[in-house]
Homo-oligomer: A and B are copies of this chain.
Amino acid sequence: MFDRLKISLDRLLPVTRDEFMYFATLLTPRRLAKHESLLRGGEVCSHIAFINQGCLRYYYLKDGDEYNGQFFFEGAWVGDYQSFLTGQPAVQYIDALEDTELLVIKRTDLQALYAERPVFERFGRLLAENIVIGSQRRTASLLFDTPEERYLKLIAERPKVMERIPLHHIASYLGIKPESLSRIRKRLADNR
């Protein structure tokens, strides 16, 4: 049950068996059915979740339309950082895109863990730093890549997204409408 978590943690920084066991006691398993939601906008994000199996997305709602911010697969952590850290209502919605198994940790338990075990404080820093890198890459791509370029990069860099996620969700992630993604795909198929 905790195998994937151990591997995922160790990739960021090695923890002793003892420290890991303690961490594991703070985690609660949770299952989400496909399309079930982990967090709704307006709620406070009081937990973050490690994905043991499955796939989720977070998205924003504006004028009734959804805009996919990011997709997450097994081995990643999900949560609304802004809400989790500040205690303010979430602006993000988080849904499962497949039947999903999570390991969930409460905000207050994580805060206490940071204070008690320095190695996890470091883990928190490394995790946040890695998220910064990913988020800045995404910002840069939205700033200066065309939708077509973003689509091609997605195919090249994140095959899992192409394999497991419907095209209309991908379009939303790319910042365009499904019809436009179809058009781009046709353009590319008619070899440019």
Contacts and interface: CB of A to CB of B under 8 A. Distances in A.
Interface of A: 60, 62, 65, 67, 69, 81-82, 85-86, 91, 114, 118, 121-122, 124-125, 128-133, 135-140, 142-144, 175
Contact of A121 (B122, B132, B140): B122
Given A118-B121, A121-B125, A140 B67 contact: yes
Nearest to A80: B136
B136 A69 contact: yes
Contact of A133 (B60, B82, B118, B138): B82
A124 B69 CA distance: 25
B143 A67 contact: yes
A60 B114 CA distance: 35
B142 A175 contact: yes
A91 B144 CA distance: 13
* Majority secondary structure of chain A interface residues (helix, strand, loop or mixed): helix
Q: How many copies does the complex hold?
A: 2
A72 to B, nearest CB: 14
Given A85-B133, A131-B132, A143 B143 contact: no
A114 B122 CA distance: 8
Given A133-B85, A135-B135, A60 B143 contact: yes
Contact of A124 (B62, B91, B125): B125
A80 to B, nearest CB: 9
Contacts of A122: 114, 121, 125
Given A60-B144, A121-B118, A125-B124, A136 B81 contact: yes
A117 to B, nearest CB: 10
Nearest to A85: B129
Contact of A69 (B62, B65, B132, B143): B143
A124 B62 CA distance: 33
